[in-house]
């Protein structure tokens, strides 16, 4: 299933957050959204996910969702959003509880996604017993449990230290190689975008507009930290963003 964002604008009171955004999220690919602080990345993700309605334009789902899809769109948040009184398996089960599934089917789905995210040995652990990286794996497993057509990922690694971030990026790449999932991935980290994104959309400072689009055809599994080609992509993205980021910073200071 593809997503088509057509002429989307959004206004909060007198503030225009997004202006005439048009882009396509292709099935089986990861689209990364980057841009200066306050440019509307998370707002656009909320509009795509239906948490808010755009002031103008439309978000269209094109094509059929994957077999067994329970939720076409599902979120992975920065702060994990786990229930501390539930185990790992219990947190994953939460996403399935309002669906009409038998107990055996629900248990099978939970076991499957825990195995796919390397969490099978931790199913009975509570969030307080897990590292930040493990908590985010639980959030990803919960998202996968509903077999989404598109995962909406809002800076999912930004709360993690650098070493854990690298490990989880490796996990996401391995998972994508197996699952070929579709994602819209918001990040402020350019190296992260280059490591994980098939398409990278650069938004301008507020009001957010599509400032530039970069497509990286190199397979995700071949992208390794420190690779010279990837470093060139990071430098290119910063060249595209620098003036917008500086202008956004001055606007914040002036305010």
Mean pLDDT of 45-52: 94
Q: Which of 30, 8, 27, 25 is nearest to 17 (CA)?
A: 8
Domains of the chain: 1-66+149-255 (3.40.50.300), 85-146 (no CATH)
Q: Give residue-wise pLDDT tens across range 133-145.
A: 999 999 999 999 9
**Average pLDDT along the chain:** 91
> What pLDDT shows up at residue 42?
92
Please state, for a pLDDT cut of 90, what percent of the chain lies above it: 69
Mean pLDDT of 24-46: 93
Q: Give residue-wise pLDDT tens across range 220-244.
A: 999 988 888 889 999 999 998 888 8
> What pLDDT shows up at residue 38?
86
Mean pLDDT of 71-78: 90
Least confident of 81-85, 150-154, 249-253: 249-253
For residues 206 and 254, give the distance between their C-alpha atoms in angstroms, rounded to a whole number.
14
């Amino acid at each position: 299933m593809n997503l088509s964002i057509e002429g989307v604008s959004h206004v909060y009171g007198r503030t225009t957050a997004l202006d005439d955004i048009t882009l396509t999220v292709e099935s089986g690919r990861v689209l990364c959204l980057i841009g200066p602080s306050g440019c509307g990345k998370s707002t656009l993700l909320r509009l795509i996910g239906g948490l808010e309605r755009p002031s103008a334009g439309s978000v269209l789902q094109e094509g059929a969702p994957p077999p067994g899809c329970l939720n076409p769109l599902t979120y992975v948040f920065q702060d994990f959003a786990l229930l501390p009184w539930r185990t790992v398996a219990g947190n994953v089960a939460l996403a399935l509880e309002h669906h009409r599934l038998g107990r055996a089917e629900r248990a099978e789905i939970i076991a499957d996604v825990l195995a796919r995210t390397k969490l099978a040995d931790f199913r009975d652990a509570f969030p307080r017993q897990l590292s930040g990286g493990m908590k985010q794996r639980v959030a990803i497993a919960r998202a996968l449990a509903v077999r989404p057509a598109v995962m909406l990922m809002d800076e999912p690694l930004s709360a993690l230290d650098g070493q854990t971030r690298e490990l989880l990026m490796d996990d996401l790449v391995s998972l994508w190689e197996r699952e070929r999932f579709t994602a819209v991935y918001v990040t402020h980290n350019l190296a992260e975008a280059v490591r994980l994104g098939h398409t990278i959309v650069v938004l301008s400072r507020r009001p957010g507009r599509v400032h530039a689009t970069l497509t990286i055809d190199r397979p995700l599994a071949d992208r390794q930290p420190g690779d010279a080609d990837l470093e060139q992509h990071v430098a290119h993205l910063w060249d595209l963003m620098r003036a917008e980021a500086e202008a956004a910073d001055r606007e914040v200071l002036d305010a």
